Amino acid sequence: MGRPPCCEKTGVKKGPWTPEEDIILVSYIQEHGPGNWRNIPTNTGLLRCSKSCRLRWTNYLRPGIKRGNFTEHEEKMIIHLQALLGNRWAAIASYLPQRTDNDIKNYWNTHLKKKLNNNKKVEGHDDNHDHQDGTSASSQSKISKGQWERRLQTDIHTAKQALCDALSLDTTPNNNNNNPPPHDQEQQPSSVQTSTTTYASSAENIAKLLQNWMKNSPKSTSSSSSKITQMSSLNNNLSIGAVSSSSPSEGTVNVTPGQGLDSLFSFNSSNNSDVSQSVSVDEGGNFSTPENHNNNNNNAGIFQVESKPNLPDFKPENGNFQVESKQNMETQQVPLTMLEKWLLDDANAQAEQEDQLMGIGMGMGMTLAETTDLF
């Protein structure tokens, strides 16, 4: 009955991923697309469980991920959406396509939660109703069921207002991180994303990782590692290539031993605005290898990223990663559309009840006024 186990529990590697592992994973997904995580460890030889591979891909290697500083706009979006959705980080992340749920969650826990708490203290609203943390259960238990239900109703109303505000934030022009909600993206073909800055490709992520790795790894234990060390003399010109797929049909990914990783990577990072990387992104945002463009290409398996910052409607979540893209479309478009409809249809009806309900809701956690006055 059932299926065979997903992966061997013994011999599964844990801990931080190495650049080699990243390359193997990326190249495999490049060829086969995301999904079938169960097959990845066996087909690639990675000593990682499928779960770990999926997490590594979705949180770090996936193209279109922006890492680093959150903008004020993103902060606002997260705060509003957290007020609306609670700690449903995946749902929140669906409205910030460049950010992963893990990233948002970490940012919330390390920055925003503190920020909000400090703000509440400053405003003298620290009434032990820690709604933002979802720890208001104790206080809720002290109130009657009727009161709780009315408060919940008010909370929903407040959250809807918050989403309205969050949506309206997107109209600010020239904001580099002014990501329209998914439903708006197609309406703004002119809002071209600079792929190398806003959408960091997975190859770029790996290259950055490699650079850090080279800096922080004085000891080179393997031949490939020593090869990588030599790359530091390349004046930041890393190059990706020669990830050979010996048997594409079986999905086995081999890193060519003789060439090591110095030929594996070719990453021209001398100019951030003109990055030539390992994986090509076509006009549709497709993330592909030359092999995908031309099956007769002798350089099978060599990826090449050609950043095309001026391409219209660049959507790296599209393209070869259609499975994931499809999922994103479903999670991004449908909920927002429904929410918007909900908001619009209900706004007028709710307005009449607002005054009395808000009066009840004052005893709750953070209100709309608190969230909007934060900045």
Partner DNA sequence: AATGAGACCAACCGCTGGTTG
Partner DNA sequence: CCAACCAGCGGTTGGTCTCAT
Q: Which residues sit at the interface with DNA, rule CB under 7 A?
A: 1-6, 13-17, 35-38, 48, 50-52, 54-56, 58-60, 67-68, 87-91, 101-103, 105-107, 109-111, 114, 134, 216, 327, 331
Distance in angstroms (rounded) separating the CA atoms of residues 291 and 288: 8
Give the residue with the Cβ less far from DNA, 146 or 218: 218
Nearest approach, Cβ of 166 to DNA (angstroms)?
A: 17
Distance in angstroms (rounded) separating the CA atoms of residues 153 and 215: 54
Nearest approach, Cβ of 120 to DNA (angstroms)?
A: 16
Nearest approach, Cβ of 96 to DNA (angstroms)?
A: 12
Nearest approach, Cβ of 6 to DNA (angstroms)?
A: 2
Of 2, 29, 14, the residue nearest 279 (C-alpha): 29
> How would you classify the pairing of strands 280-281 and 243-247?
unpaired
Nearest approach, Cβ of 171 to DNA (angstroms)?
A: 27
Task: Let me know: does 94 contact 335? Beta carbons within 8 Å.
Answer: yes
Nearest approach, Cβ of 85 to DNA (angstroms)?
A: 8
Give the residue with the Cβ less far from DNA, 15 or 124: 15
Lookup: tokens for 311: 């391409």
How far, rounded to the nearest angstrom, does the alpha carbon of residue 151 sit from its chain's CA centroid?
33
Give the residue with the Cβ less far from DNA, 29 or 255: 29
Q: Residue 227: helix, strand or coil by DSSP?
A: helix
Q: What is the largest CA-CA distance in the chain?
A: 75
Task: Let me know: does 340 contact 167? Beta carbons within 8 Å.
Answer: yes
DSSP state of 59: I
Task: Let me know: does 238 contact 269? Beta carbons within 8 Å.
Answer: yes
Lookup: tokens for 129: 């109703």
* Rg, C-alpha atoms of the chain: 24
Nearest approach, Cβ of 353 to DNA (angstroms)?
A: 29
Give the residue with the Cβ less far from DNA, 118 or 176: 118
Distance in angstroms (rounded) separating the CA atoms of residues 201 and 208: 11
Lookup: tokens for 37: 């995580």
Distance in angstroms (rounded) separating the CA atoms of residues 312 and 187: 12
Lookup: tokens for 40: 């990845």
Give the residue with the Cβ less far from DNA, 50 or 263: 50
Give the residue with the Cβ less far from DNA, 91 or 311: 91
Give the residue with the Cβ less far from DNA, 177 or 304: 177
Give the residue with the Cβ less far from DNA, 324 or 370: 324
Provide the sign of the torsion angle of the four alpha carbons 107, 37, 7, 265, taken in this order.
negative
Nearest approach, Cβ of 70 to DNA (angstroms)?
A: 9
